[in-house]
Amino acid sequence: MTSQRTRERLIQRLMDRGVTNLQVLDVIRNTPRHLFLDEALSHRAYEDSSLPIGHGQTLSQPYIVARMTEILLGAAGGKLQRVLEVGTGSGYQTSILAQLVGEVYSVERIKPLQDKARERFRQLGLRNVHLRHADGGFGWPEPGTKFDGILSTAAPRFVPSELTDQLAPNGVLVIPVGDQQQDLQLIIRDGDSDKLFTQKLEAVKFVPLLSGTSR
């Protein structure tokens, strides 16, 4: 079930759906998605579907993980040094990012999910992941701290200004936005100005960005 052939089939499916970034495909090929699921579901790990991780949350579908990652990398142009993720969840998207960028900062509001994810990063030997248990709608507030990229895996109804405020010059934000109807948005800061370009990409379905934290 976790054989190389099963994983290869997933990569083929992502390519069929239009994912072209070879670096992203390679990282997905080599990341054991079954480690991010409870054992009862691990036989479905290499299907292209979102799967439950408890607490009413889901592990994102591989296609959407691949798409969001390739959009983030593509829009950024050069190498991303610091990336913020909102919604650590299982830590799968975090692990993909950690293999492609300098440092990943990831915020999760549900403590038990964060604890499990931390254990997985340790198991995988990922040392460039920094975690916070907080409401990621506020980003990672720290004086003078800006991010080259921000990726949200939970959908707010409107884009929080705290997130766009934390974009570095030419920084890129990839975020699902909306309630029943959501679309994936790409927001780019124009140089070091206050100007932001927004582009609506495809229709998506994410869990909502909720406020506050839970233990």
Binding site residues, ligand SAH, CB under 6 A: 53, 57-60, 86-87, 89-90, 92-93, 107-110, 113, 135-137, 153-154, 207, 209-211
CB of 135: closest distance to ligand SAH in angstroms?
Answer: 4
- Residue in the structure block whose two tokens are 């650590």: 88
Least distance in angstroms from the C-beta of 9 to ligand SAH? 20
**Counting Cβ atoms within 10 Å, is residue 143 exposed (0-12), middle (13-18) or buried (19+)?**
exposed
Q: Which is nearer to ligand SAH, 82 or 109 (CB)?
A: 109
| Alpha-carbon span 71 to 93, nearest angstrom | 14
Closest distance between ligand SAH and the C-beta of residue 127, in Å? 19
CB of 192 to ligand SAH, least distance (A): 27
H helices of 30-144, in order, are 62-76, 92-98, 111-124
- The catalytic position among 60, 95, 106, 152 is 60
Tokens, residue 71: 């959009």
| C-beta closer to ligand SAH: residue 132 or 146 | 132
Q: Is 60 a catalytic residue?
A: yes
Residue 13 vs 195, nearer CB to ligand SAH? 13
CA distance 104 to 87: 12
Nearer to ligand SAH, 65 or 172 (CB): 65
At 41 the three-state DSSP class reads: helix
User: How far, in Å, are 24, 51, 77, 87, 91 from residue 181 at the CA level?
Assistant: 27, 20, 30, 20, 25
Catalytic residues: 60
